[in-house]
Structure 1
Amino acid sequence: MGKYFIGQKASFGKTITEADLAQFAGISGDFNPIHIDSEYAKQTRFGQRIAHGMLTTSLLSGLLGMHLPGKGSVYLGQTLRFVKPVFIGDTVTAQAEVVQFDPDKGIMKLRTECLKQDGTLVLEGEATMLVPREETAR
């Protein structure tokens, strides 16, 4: 039996902070007022600032790069569907489940999703990862 198997799961969670939004805006260059301007955001359908969608997505990067498949793995692709907004103070848990794995090619497909602390689905998709060979995965 190998290191990876269909149905294998992992998760990683983080509470989204004011600093996260500010830092992500600085890194990405996305200063959309929906993310950084409270007065502007109050007038939107959300009634408050929302986290950048790609900030939420970045939790998947942490999960996949560090936990499953883990260190040495490389993203080949990611589909995304944003379902609900994430607000400052929400705790978001990124989850992944192996749905397909070809050990000869080292290609893994995972169902990915992010949920808020109350179980609300905020993001879903599928990741394709290049997995390191067993020798380099140690």
Structure 2
Amino acid sequence: MQRTIRTRGESVVQGKFLEELSVGQTAELVRVVGEADIEAFAEVTGDNNPVHLDADYAAKTAFGERIAHGMLSAGYISAVLGTTLPGPGAIYLSQALRFKRPVKIGDSVTARATVTEIDAAKARVTLATVCLVNGKPVVDGEAVVMVPRKAA
């Protein structure tokens, strides 16, 4: 039994209870990073590093062009956890991240989460997390979330 939640935009999001999860379950989403995404992220966070926003500056860096904020890519992991696996009601407890490669404007990012451990006593779930561009990891890590139980 999944929980159905309506979001602000009235889309329906399905969530899973702790008892519905199993090791190996995987979910993912795909997003193309646009210039507007990078600018909006900078506006919201205040991270105005010119490597993200200034093409002339970025051209002189090791990247040779503007790149997305690492946490923008990591945010796609949060979207997977909050909307799909486990979904609404899951509460982030921790997230370890390793930034492997830059993400550029126009890159298609696949964010994936896979259940690796379930601690039923504490209602905690550990997930391997990764963001991929062209099949190569750009961000990887591990998340721990608290997941709602079914009502008795």
Q: What are the superposed Cα offsets for residues 79-124 of structure 1, whole Å, 9 maximum, x if unpaired?
A: 00000000000010100110100123110000000001x2111011
Equivalent residue letter for 2:48: F
Name structure 2 gaps, 5 residues minimum: 1-18
Number of aligned residues: 133
1:11 matched residue in structure 2? 28
For 1:30 and 1:70, locate their aligned partners in 2 and report how far apart those are by CA, in whole Å: 28
Equivalent residue letter for 1:132: P
Structure 1 residue 134, shift from structure 2 partner: 1.9
Runs of 4+ in structure 1 over 3 Å off: none
* % identity of equivalent residues: 47
| Cα RMSD after superposing both structures | 0.7
For 1:13 and 1:101, locate their aligned partners in 2 and report how far apart those are by CA, in whole Å: 26
Give the alignment's TM-score, normalised by structure 1. 0.94
1:72 matched residue in structure 2? 89
Q: 2:132 aligns with which of 97, 100, 115?
A: 115
| Residue 26 (1) aligns with residue 35 (2) | no
Q: What are the superposed Cα offsets for residues 37-74 of structure 1, whole Å, 9 maximum, x if unpaired?
A: 00000000000000000000000110000000111001
For 1:105 and 1:46, locate their aligned partners in 2 and report how far apart those are by CA, in whole Å: 43
| Residue 83 (1) aligns with residue 100 (2) | yes
Give the alignment's TM-score, normalised by structure 2. 0.86
For 1:132 and 1:89, locate their aligned partners in 2 and report how far apart those are by CA, in whole Å: 36
1:125 matched residue in structure 2? 141
Structure 1 residue 13, shift from structure 2 partner: 1.0
Equivalent residue letter for 2:36: A
